[in-house]
Amino acid sequence: MPKLDFWYEFASTYSYPAAMRIERLAKEAGVEVAWRPFLLGPIFKGLGWSTSPFNLQAAKGRYMWRDLARLCEDAELPPFRQPRNFPLNSLLAARVALALDDTERPGFSRAAYLVEFSEGEDIGDGEVIAGILSQLGHDADPLLAKAAEQAIKDKLRANTEEAQQLGIFGAPTFVLANGEMFWGNDRLEQALKWAKK
């Protein structure tokens, strides 16, 4: 079965619809997906940026918020809600995602995105993350403790370094086994098509 790495950032608006859509589309296409959370912050810092390009470029930012609302409408997701702060601190969510096993990661990631972008809650807040974990039937406290361990911190750092080495500069990005890279939620279908070439 062809494989695809799904590189996503919990603070990234466009990663949200991709996370909500990828499992159904990949199943239809017969492609196996690995969920790879990483951080864009260190990559943006390498470009000399202190925040998201959507904050640095006002016109691009205004467009993005409207675009996300339309995308959610077209994808039949709940009405998009802009979090009070942007980008939110995604460190905790990414570490928790990596503290979960491969079969639990997608469900947690989707739930976190929904809380962030349809309820507008702050996923940087430990209590919000604990609430998501509990709702999914996880035991929150030991998972939050595991997420704070060095091994998980190292795993996230390694993911982010691998993303940077692959030439990833934004999220979501889909990477095939042969190295072909596709950037953006709107490229998910194309990436799945190329995965089967």
Q: What is the nearest approach in angstroms of a copy of itself to the Cβ of residue 76? A: 14
With beta carbons less than 8 A apart as the criterion, state whether 13 and 68 touch. yes
**CA–CA separation, 179 and 181 (whole Å):** 6
CA-nearest of 161, 132, 124, 130 to 144 is 130
Kindly determine how many residues on this chain lie close enough to bind a copy of itself according to the rule CB under 8 A: 24
Q: Does 76 bind a copy of itself (CB under 8 A)?
A: no
CB of 184 to a copy of itself, least distance (A): 7
Q: Determine the residue type at 64.
A: M
Region of 20-28, 55-63, 91-99, 141-149 interacting with a copy of itself (CB under 8 A):
55-63
Question: Would you state the structure tokens that stand for residue 156, as one six-digit string?
Answer: 């996230």
State the Cα torsion 40-45-46-49 to the nearest 10°: 110
Closest to a copy of itself by CB, 109 or 173: 173
By beta-carbon proximity to a copy of itself, the closer residue of 58 and 151 is 58
From residue 156 to residue 185, the character string flagging contacts with a copy of itself as x (rule: CB under 8 A) and all else as - is -----------xxxx---------xxxxx-
| Gap between the Cα atoms of 184 and 170, Å rounded | 8
Q: Which helix (H) or strand (E) holds 21?
A: helix 15-29
42 contributes a contact to a copy of itself by CB under 8 A: no
Residues that bind a copy of itself in the complex, under the rule CB under 8 A:
47, 57, 59-60, 62-63, 66-67, 70, 74, 167-170, 180-184, 186-187, 190, 193-194
